[in-house]
Structure 1
Amino acid sequence: MHSIDELAALRNPLPLPGTVTPEDCYTDACEQVEEQRKKDALHLEAASDDLQVDPLLLALDDLKTQKEAIHAEIRRLLAYGREFHGSRPYGLEELARHAGYSFSGVRTAYGDKEIQYVADQIGREANRPSRTGRAKDTL
């Protein structure tokens, strides 16, 4: 197996027997993964050749980009839960438990940028004054 094929196999693991429901779809699921592996290998090879970068490093860069996007989405959802949700925000402990953050991590995970992003996306302002506004109010 060529190293690009190995990377594609790692990035697209076959399902374990007994993990596909209904069980008679297991073969189809494996075929879909094999097809995805082929597409992934072709993409990695083309990108590697085009950019003159090792395919493993490209795969790691891709995952890092995905991880950063997921963390940004979590921060936006935390902002929504604390600043936009109903008449009472979600509690820090509950959000921390579900987001994989510490109690204090939720409090500092998002800022005005995330609050503004949420407001722009849902078409309304936060229920609570912005952090900047609160800081000014307390001075």
Structure 2
Amino acid sequence: MHPIVELAALIHPIPEPGTPDPDDILADVREEVDRLRKEYADNLEATAFGTDTDPLIVALQKAHTDKEAADRRIRTLLAYAREFHPARRYSLNELGEASGYTISGVRTAYGDPEVALVQDQIGRTPRRAAQEQESL
């Protein structure tokens, strides 16, 4: 098997029967994984060729970029949960377990930049700022 095809198989594994979907749709899932593998391999090959970089290095760089993006999403979601979510207050323990952070990590995971990003994206004032305005 070609190394780029092997990398695509590592990034897009075929799910085991019964996970995550029922066996009756496994053929459809496998077809979708095959499509994702081909697309990934084509993109990886083009990027590696275009930048004259080893495909494994390109794949690692992409995984690192994806990891940083996931970390940003987690910080943004934590800011939303703690500063904006209208339905209820989440415990630090609950948020920590869901995000992989410690309780103290949840408190410090986000800051003003993430709060401002959430505010811009949802068009609402953070709960803390709204409460301060009400007390004036």
The TM-score with structure 2 as length reference comes to 0.85
The letter of the residue matching 2:39 is: K
The letter of the residue matching 2:100 is: G
Deviations 1:23-72 (A, max 9, x none): 23323322322222222111111110001111111111111111111111
Could you say which residue in structure 2 is the equivalent of 1:96? 96
Contact 1:79 1:115 in 2 (8 A): yes
Could you say which residue in structure 1 is the equivalent of 2:65? 65
Deviations 1:75-131 (A, max 9, x none): 11111111122386422222112111101001100000011111111111111049x
Q: Take 1:10 and 1:33, find their aligned partners in 2: how far apart are those partners?
A: 11
Deviating beyond 6 angstroms after TM superposition, the runs of 4 or more aligned structure 1 residues are none
Contact 1:7 1:56 in 2 (8 A): yes
Q: Take 1:9 and 1:87, find their aligned partners in 2: how far apart are those partners?
A: 41
Cα distance change of structure 1 residues 88 and 21 upon mapping to structure 2, 3 Å threshold: closer
Q: Aligned residues, how many?
A: 131
Structure 2: which 5+ residue stretches go unaligned?
A: none
Could you say which residue in structure 1 is the equivalent of 2:32? 32
Could you say which residue in structure 2 is the equivalent of 1:76? 76
1:1-139 to structure 2, matched below 5 A, reads 1-19=1-19, 21-86=21-86, 89-129=89-129
The TM-score with structure 1 as length reference comes to 0.83
Q: Take 2:43 and 2:11, find their aligned partners in 1: how far apart are those partners?
A: 12
Q: Secondary structure at the match of 2:78?
A: helix
The letter of the residue matching 2:107 is: R
Q: Take 1:51 and 1:104, find their aligned partners in 2: how far apart are those partners?
A: 41
Cα distance change of structure 1 residues 23 and 53 upon mapping to structure 2, 3 Å threshold: same
CA-based RMSD: 2.1
Identity level (%): 51
